[in-house]
Structure 1
Amino acid sequence: MRPLILASSSAYRHALLSRLGLPFQAEAPDVDERRESGETPSTLVTRLAETKARALAKRYPNHLIIGSDQVAVLGDQVLGKPGGFEKALEQLTAASGRVVTFLTGLALLDSHSGQCQVDVVPFTVHMRQLPENVLARYLRAEQPYDCAGSFKAEGLGVSLFERTEGADATSLVGLPLIRLVGMLGAAGIAVP
């Protein structure tokens, strides 16, 4: 099997990829993640997923490199990682009772051939209408300040949801495993 590299320092993506039972290494690529002028959220995550994978190609010249990036979209606003309580409360208050769409860009690069499979996997979350004191209580309990949209779907954040829609729930956490298994299969790696 060709060696796998996860181009990420995310503990969430690492845990998800571990579920497939494949050996891999993880390394954070040095990539500027700022949104370019006029760039749509879908284009942004596609570009960043591929850029992250390609950033490690010289160091790993005969590997399959997985890149992924995610944004949360509320209306026409992109919600990034809040970084702290105040910004997270602002994001959750704005999202309360509304629909947040998560777009996860996924890239699988064959660094030997340069061939790259790229896709965007959407997942929609319908948020419950909740008062600010409940949202603040959630934030103090879970502190999801490193998560786009200001919640951890794999934890207590699910209590903020009314319902979800999407083909792959793992995309909500940041690495769409169903789509990745298909990409790996196309690259000659069978799972299981």
Structure 2
Amino acid sequence: MIPSSTTPRLILASGSAYRRELLARLRLPFEAIAPDVEETPLPGEAPQDTALRLGQAKAQAIAARHPGALVIGSDQVATLDGEQIGKPGDHARALVQLQKMRGREVVFHTALCLWDGRAANPAGALQIENVQVFVQFRDLPDAELDAYLRIEQPYDCAGSAKNEGLGIALLERIASNDPTALTGLPLIALTGMLRRAGVAFFGIDERLAKPS
């Protein structure tokens, strides 16, 4: 932990409105800057490795431009039977995704990286974790899947469903130790990382608040 009595500059390396909304819950001042990172998986790369690599790459890309900041990077990869499920991009692809996933369990790998630009030793600047979420989709007919997509149009979401919106009606069960991970930013893991980096929550430095 790097001693600090004030909150360091905090940057979310993302252009995602979902991640901005989640980070805002912590009531810490932050900036959001979209990184220019190629998100194509490498040949033969495991889904969790793709998520971890891209989460770190996003954080480091922004950290290189903003030295001394705390930078949050995150990436999510959804998998069915070990195969990656990307963002559909349009209605037809989203419907195919939902048809494949109905009645099935999909695993979402949400990688979280915190890069501390204040660290004197680069080896100590990185905190990184993969948070898994197991999602059981309901076995619903095509008409319901199509109707959902036309209402919410989740074409920028891996898995073609917004669990924080009407998409929750497509799901039968969600299992994870970090509930916001499915939306794209695991806040339980993140608050732990920020605490280890010396960020004070509730306006109190926990190092000073502990009884002697």
**Which TM-score applies when normalising by structure 2?**
0.89
Please identify the structure whose Cα radius of gyration is greater: 2
* 8 Å Cα contact 2:10-2:71 kept in structure 1: yes
Please name the residue that 1:182 is paired with.
192
Please name the residue that 1:126 is paired with.
136
Once the two structures are overlaid, the 10-residue window that deviates more, 95-104 or 108-117, is: 108-117
| CA shift for structure 1 position 165 | 0.5
- Say which of 27, 50, 73 aligns to 1:67: 73
Instruction: Deviation per CA, 1:115-136: give whole Å up to 9, x if none.
Output: 1100000011111000111100
Matches within 5 A, 1:3-82: 3-82=9-88
Please name the residue that 1:160 is paired with.
170
AA partner of residue 104 (structure 2): R
Flag structure 1 segments of 5+ consecutive residues without an equivalent.
none
SS where residue 127 of structure 2 aligns?
A: strand
Cα RMSD between the aligned structures?
0.7
Please name the residue that 1:84 is paired with.
90
| CA shift for structure 1 position 164 | 1.0
AA partner of residue 94 (structure 1): K
Q: Runs (4+) of structure 1 moved beyond 2 Å? A: none
| CA shift for structure 1 position 59 | 1.6
| CA shift for structure 1 position 76 | 2.0
* 8 Å Cα contact 2:52-2:128 kept in structure 1: yes
**1:94 and 2:94 are equivalent in the alignment:** no
| CA shift for structure 1 position 111 | 1.7
- Say which of 149, 152, 162 aligns to 2:159: 149
| CA shift for structure 1 position 82 | 0.3
AA partner of residue 201 (structure 2): V
* Aligned residues with identical type, % of pairs: 52
Aligned length: 192
Looking at structure 1, the residues matched to 180 and 63 of structure 2 have their Cα atoms a distance apart, in angstroms, of 26
Instruction: Deviation per CA, 1:117-170: give whole Å up to 9, x if none.
Output: 000000111110001111000000100000000000000000001111011110
Looking at structure 2, the residues matched to 163 and 42 of structure 1 have their Cα atoms a distance apart, in angstroms, of 21
AA partner of residue 42 (structure 1): Q
**Which TM-score applies when normalising by structure 1?**
0.98
